[in-house]
Structure 1
Amino acid sequence: MKIVQMGMPLMLVAALAACSGNAAESGGKTTITFSYLWSGPEGEAIEKLIAGFNASQNKIVVKGVSSPDTQKQLASMSSANGTFDISDNFGNTVGSWAAKGILAPLDDLLKEQGVDTGAFAPAAMDQMRYKGQTYALPIAVHTFQLVYNKKLLDAAGVEPPRTTDELAAAIPKLTKTDGKGALTQLGLGNPNLPTSLTTLGYAFGGNWDGTDPANPAPSPGDPGNLAALKFWQDNITKKYGADKVNAFKAGWGQYMSAQDPFYSGKVAMVIDGEWQAVSIPKNAPELEWGVSPIPVARPDLDGTTQLTASTLFIPANSKHRKEAATFLKYMVSESAARELSLALGNLPARTGLAGDPAYAKIANFDVWLQAMKSPKVRSLSSAPYAAEYATDLESAFDSVARGTATPEEGMAKVAGRASGYARG
């Protein structure tokens, strides 16, 4: 899910809420508000699902409001009188918001609705829970795999790497410089450095939040994490020079535009999500590309990757929790999950849909799709410290990638700051 929408004026949001939040319509139907972060084609897909729900029964009317301003979303949830009854965000917010008491616990509501949480990707459900209770459900998930330029790999005589050793050997074969030593092609790029490095951390057997999802704690200095950061420094930063890498990156075009460095052949391989299977045919139709599982350090780590989730939740100040839960059940049902994921180019959160033939029409989508069922798929914790931790990791990753800190120095600094994180 890409959130790039313009915000709806607060007065309009309030007006919509006022006419829909508390009153039952004349026909005896209860009206609830679904405030969602999507707009454009994505918003149209949401409105189509809303219309389908409204037509499917005669007790509830859902009114959709496109409102991508997350600060207004949080302000509404923190007030005595909220402006919506159900909304969406990302999995890494769940623990923090649950600890603040602004999310409604869902277990009893889900039991009443007959929703089986075991139907969803386990790594996604890890993010949905806080202190043993469920506070959100995944509406879509995202996994990360190795995306590669077939022509560049073929020209270099490189097979898609399956291990981190093979990845290390492939990078220099796929990297080129001009007569002055400036980079003209890079073997492995990073559309998002934190995602690339946290995913590689898992691929080296590391853990970013300890080993117990029920009791997460920051573990930046895990040996596998350090091995991943050392891999990045040894095979990119030190090998080609941080200054030359940064100078090369400065000339990259906008992500997922026609000038994207992967689309234009400046980068041979990237670690990225399933949305590329929809974006590439639209924005780089001539590109010959493929996707393979994330290379891993050991055979027992085969199938390891990172998963993130888009979620639906009910705010604690909703005046229509049961009605919102009825709509929530509809939105995470197999039919709605299939329709929405196909419209957005995302993975369905239900593992049972991984083999659905509807996805076969999307080239290369199956690698990401099958990955969500792997027992080795991992997700960063959504514990109350998640936001602070992510910020500190991002800063440390940048230092490591620039060569201004060793992996040990960078992660030690994060560990020192972690002692002051909120635990909830």
Structure 2
Amino acid sequence: MSITAARLAAVALTAGLLVSGAAGCTPGEAPAPVASAGVEPSGEVEFWHFFTDREAKAIDDIVADFQAKYPKVKVVVKGGQDDTKMLQAIGAGQGPDVGLSYSTDIVGKFCSSGAWTDLAPYLKRDGVVMDRYPAVVRSYTEYQGKRCAMPFLADVYGLYYNKKIFGEAGVSAPPKTLAELTDLAKKLTVRKPDGTIERAGFLPSFGFYENSPAHLAPAVGATWLKEDGTSAIGSDPKWRELLAWQKELVDWYGYDKLEKFRAGLGDEWGADNAFQKGKVAIAVDGEWRMAFLRDQAKDVPFGVAPLPVTDPARYGAGYVTGNVIGVSRTAKNPEAAWALLRYLTTDTAAIVKLSNGIRNVPTTSDALASKDLVVDDEFKVFLDIFANPGTTTTPPSVVGAAYQEELGAFVQDYQSGKSKDLEAGLAKVDQQINNLVKLAG
């Protein structure tokens, strides 16, 4: 997924708030499937997705394959969409038949509100075996036992490092611990005589590209929610450990100097990406960055590795999220919509072709093992992180991504020095999240 929850955090939050109003308008449940298994689907299906440019072409190709296999189905594709537009359309009774979301964070809202149809009857009727998907993937496509989404492709986060910069500094290996990352960040940073940053060894600011509490939480093993859905952030000392580490590095650079440096960096998704331009030596990013590097920055020698950790026993694990896809409760042709969704998420050849085209991680065991899957040494690092039993994701919640947004707002204030009391700030985050959960319940 090239458009991630980090890039569209504001949109994700808006979507989370809108769904309770828009999609919650007399949601109801779509009827159970009426066709028998094996009946050829027919009719028109409207499919919305968020991809653009090179990645949208990969979607068009796979939709063409589907239509060749199911000639009685006509698929109308609308790219460049987002969750807010989709929720508003569903609320108005005009939503797509099939919607693809860039964020797993919407699953709790989509499932609890009925914006997306419960897929259990279709899965049971057609014998779809969910054991083909890793447990972490199954966890982010259902909410409280209701599976309203299926996994499309997965995103796995790791560490990118510039081999040329490492070599010039006599560094032979990427950091495996947060302490090592701190040391390398300082060693590889270049400043002008007045302290202005010319190159950051590692830019620690939350809000920079893919730097977010969610993506870094596995480095310390921090927990988001308790079993009852309320916040665990304030009571989990791992969050204080992570944020104290990050703040120490921000203070070493100087917050104002970091902000000035960051203001001059290129767009994350453009050719002027800071890592691609050598302005940042080490960066947190997803597996898709490899395709961007090879397309936009062919001369940059890069390496990839798992995220650094505090506990060596956790090294190799990381954060995984992905794209999720569902059938709208307003679908005009639910059987044909399900056929498209099933093809995109269960057909091994289709999943492998999508992975090779977009360069995201396939989500089924047979696609991961396929001889047709293009796997180089760098991509294998992300496959290994994906397969690591310690790899985690952000849990689905009835408030969508709002619990992450509450923490995100606080860490912005904390890293800038506006909020100085870490423990009190996290306790307030707990209170705000729990109020949202109570209101949503």
Q: TM-score range by the shorter chain?
A: 0.7 to 0.9
Q: Using a 3 Å threshold, how does the CA distance of structure 1 residues 389 and 349 change in structure 2: closer, same or farther?
A: same
Match of 1:420 in 2: 435
Indicate the larger mover: 319-328 or 107-116. Answer: 319-328
Of residues 209, 226, 250, the one that matches 2:225 is 209
Distance 1:88 1:378 in 2: 22
Of residues 165, 178, 181, the one that matches 2:192 is 178
Distance 1:287 1:243 in 2: 29
The superposition leaves residues 204-236 of structure 1 with CA deviations (integer Å, 9 ceiling, x where unpaired) of 1211223x5xx54322222111111111111x2
Match of 1:366 in 2: 380
1:411 aligns with 2:426: yes
One-letter amino acid of the structure 1 residue matched with residue 433 of structure 2: A
Whether the 8 Å CA contact 1:201–1:227 is kept in 2: the answer is no
Match of 1:99 in 2: 112
One-letter amino acid of the structure 2 residue matched with residue 421 of structure 1: L
Which 5+ residue runs of structure 1 have no aligned equivalent? Answer: 5-26
Query: Cα distance, 1:42 vs. partner?
Result: 2.7
Match of 1:84 in 2: 96
Query: Cα distance, 1:362 vs. partner?
Result: 5.0
Of residues 243, 261, 269, the one that matches 2:282 is 269
Whether the 8 Å CA contact 1:143–1:308 is kept in 2: the answer is yes
Equivalences for 1:358-397 in 2 at 5 Å?
Answer: 358-360=372-374, 364-397=378-411
Which 5+ residue runs of structure 2 have no aligned equivalent? Answer: 8-39
Distance 1:122 1:131 in 2: 15
Distance 1:244 1:64 in 2: 45
Equivalences for 1:92-171 in 2 at 5 Å?
Answer: 92-158=105-171, 159-171=173-185
Report the identity percentage.
26
Match of 1:14 in 2: none
The superposition leaves residues 248-295 of structure 1 with CA deviations (integer Å, 9 ceiling, x where unpaired) of 212212224333221222211011101111001111111111011111
Q: Using a 3 Å threshold, how does the CA distance of structure 1 residues 181 and 36 change in structure 2: closer, same or farther?
A: closer
Query: Cα distance, 1:32 vs. partner?
Result: 2.4
Query: Cα distance, 1:349 vs. partner?
Result: 1.9
Whether the 8 Å CA contact 2:107–2:400 is kept in 1: the answer is no
Query: Cα distance, 1:309 vs. partner?
Result: 1.2
Whether the 8 Å CA contact 1:150–1:290 is kept in 2: the answer is yes
* TM-score, normalised via structure 1 length: 0.86
RMSD (Å), alpha carbons: 2.4
The superposition leaves residues 72-119 of structure 1 with CA deviations (integer Å, 9 ceiling, x where unpaired) of 31122223x434321111211111122222211011111212222222
User: What SS does the aligned partner of 2:435 have?
Assistant: coil
One-letter amino acid of the structure 2 residue matched with residue 82 of structure 1: Q
One-letter amino acid of the structure 1 residue matched with residue 110 of structure 2: W
Distance 1:28 1:263 in 2: 45
* TM-score, normalised via structure 2 length: 0.83
One-letter amino acid of the structure 2 residue matched with residue 233 of structure 1: K
Q: How many residues align?
A: 397
The superposition leaves residues 49-72 of structure 1 with CA deviations (integer Å, 9 ceiling, x where unpaired) of 222122213553333333615333
One-letter amino acid of the structure 2 residue matched with residue 304 of structure 1: A
